[in-house]
């Protein structure tokens, strides 16, 4: 039984809910002590000789962090800024002695880097953005400066990480489910109390197209309760194109129509499925797996045997976790949907985003 299934089982009875609430109390004590160690100087945060911008969140699950990091990296790279991404490589299948660098090495093993950093490296290859993975993010940041002379270091998912000083914090909030039931893990979805919003220099609301204007205003009010001066931007995820992974060719969105099969291992699989439905597709068969699931030959054979000849659609994050011999099993009509983050409100709102990334000297 995985952790998600265990949590669902415990939530279904009074005793189980009591266990989860007690565990949340313990988690909260640990989170407060961890933060206090740095705030009171008992532990020291290290600074590197570069601008450090953290892109993270207060909750567990899919807030759209990866697409936000990709938007930040591509925006900076297009401006001619030397940018690097540093990550801990959550749920890496294999550990390494030193930092792992994803840069101009198409044969790299995703298991050494983690699925999300590996996927980002493939998307960012044309922009020459290095991604450095290490158990200690400080080590990754120093390696990025040593190897690439990075002007901006993007700290991927490090809002609760205090060992590396940052110049700005961008916090993502899922407009569909901003803070869950307001409880800490594991009873809720919060990684830390909502007072953590005080550290945010910019808040980006994601999935705004999936909620009403009234709901958006309610989320804004919740954020303002803890940080009344922070800029709040709205965003949505927009599909861009498909990639036929069997031919490596880009496919326009309107070329795939009618019934399809799909699968994913995401924090919020319903968002991916809704995007496909909004494109006019009929989801005749779908599979959901726990976040960060890596796929076996048996998984792929099941997809192939049961999709009944329908196009099979997944995400970049899932594709990078296919076994090495996937081409022997999936031979045609397998597509990856490329999705980009779009900041609402035009150029003036987008400038607020870029100004936090790398303010121009006046």
Same-domain status, 102 and 230: yes
**307 and 233 together in one domain:** no
pLDDT digits (tens, 9 = 90+) for 56-105: 999 997 788 999 999 999 999 999 999 999 999 876 777 777 899 999 88
Residues 233 and 243 grouped into a single domain: no
152-189 pLDDT tens trace: 999 999 999 999 999 999 999 999 999 999 999 999 99
Q: Are residues 256 and 191 in the same domain?
A: no
CA-to-CA dists, residue 74 to 5, 104, 168, 317, angstroms: 37, 16, 18, 18
Q: Cα separation of 247 and 335, whole Å?
A: 10
Are 12 and 62 in a shared domain? no
Helices assigned H by DSSP within 115-202: 115-123, 137-148
Q: Between residues 214 and 116, which one has the greater pLDDT?
A: 214
Closest CA to 245 of 179, 311, 169, 297: 311
The pLDDT, as a whole number, for residue 2 is 61
Taking all residues of the chain, what is their mean pLDDT, rounded to a whole number? 93
User: At residue 129, does pLDDT exceed 70?
Assistant: yes
Average pLDDT score over residue span 323-330: 92
The answer on 211 and 290 residing in a single domain is: no
Tell me, yes or no, whether 202 and 251 share the same domain: no
Specify the long-range contacts of residues 348-356, CB closer than 8 Å, at least 24 apart: 349/233, 349/234, 352/202, 352/231, 352/233, 353/71, 353/72, 353/75, 353/202, 353/204, 353/233, 354/75, 354/79, 356/53, 356/168, 356/170, 356/201, 356/202, 356/231
Task: Find the domain containing 24 and state its range.
Answer: 3-39
What pLDDT digit, counting tens, does each position of 272-313 carry? 999 999 999 999 999 999 887 889 999 999 999 999 999 999
What CATH number has the domain bearing residue 281? 3.40.50
The arithmetic mean of pLDDT across residues 311-337, rounded, is 94
* Cα–Cα nearest to 339, from 268, 287, 282, 286: 268
Same domain, 353 and 267: no
> How many domains is the chain partitioned into structurally?
3
């Amino acid at each position: 039984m995985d952790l998600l299934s265990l949590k669902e089982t415990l939530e279904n009875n009074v005793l189980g809910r009591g266990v989860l609430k007690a565990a949340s109390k313990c988690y909260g004590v640990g989170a407060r002590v961890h933060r206090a160690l740095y705030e009171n100087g008992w532990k020291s945060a290290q600074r590197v000789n570069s601008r450090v911008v953290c892109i993270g969140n207060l909750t567990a699950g899919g807030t759209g962090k990866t697409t936000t990091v990709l938007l930040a990296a591509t925006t900076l790279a297009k401006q001619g800024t030397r940018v690097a991404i540093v990550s801990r490589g959550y749920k890496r299948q294999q550990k390494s002695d030193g930092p792992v660098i994803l840069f101009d090495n198409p044969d790299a093993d995703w298991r050494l880097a983690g699925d999300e950093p590996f996927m980002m490296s493939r998307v960012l290859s044309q922009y020459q953005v290095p991604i450095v993975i290490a158990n200690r993010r400080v080590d990754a940041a120093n390696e990025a400066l040593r190897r690439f002379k990075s002007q901006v270091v993007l700290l991927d998912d490090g809002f609760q990480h205090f060992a590396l000083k940052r110049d700005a914090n961008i916090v993502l909030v899922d407009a569909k489910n901003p803070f869950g039931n307001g409880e800490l893990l594991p009873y809720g979805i919060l990684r830390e109390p909502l007072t953590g919003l005080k550290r945010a220099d910019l808040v980006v609301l994601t999935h705004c197209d999936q909620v009403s204007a009234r709901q958006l205003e309610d989320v804004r009010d919740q954020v303002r309760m803890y940080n009344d001066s922070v800029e709040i931007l709205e965003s949505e995820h927009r599909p861009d194109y498909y990639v036929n992974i069997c031919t490596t060719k880009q496919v326009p969105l309107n070329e795939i129509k009618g019934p399809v099969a799909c699968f994913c291992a995401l924090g919020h699989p319903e968002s991916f499925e809704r995007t496909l439905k909004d494109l006019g597709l009929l989801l005749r068969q779908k599979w959901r797996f726990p976040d960060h699931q890596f796929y076996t030959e048996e998984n792929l054979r099941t997809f192939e045997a049961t999709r009944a000849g329908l196009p099979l659609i997944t995400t970049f994050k899932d594709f990078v976790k296919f076994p090495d011999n996937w081409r022997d099993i999936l031979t045609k009509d397998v597509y990856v949907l490329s999705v980009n983050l779009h900041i609402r409100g035009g150029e003036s709102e987008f400038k607020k985003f870029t100004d936090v990334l790398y303010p121009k000297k006046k």
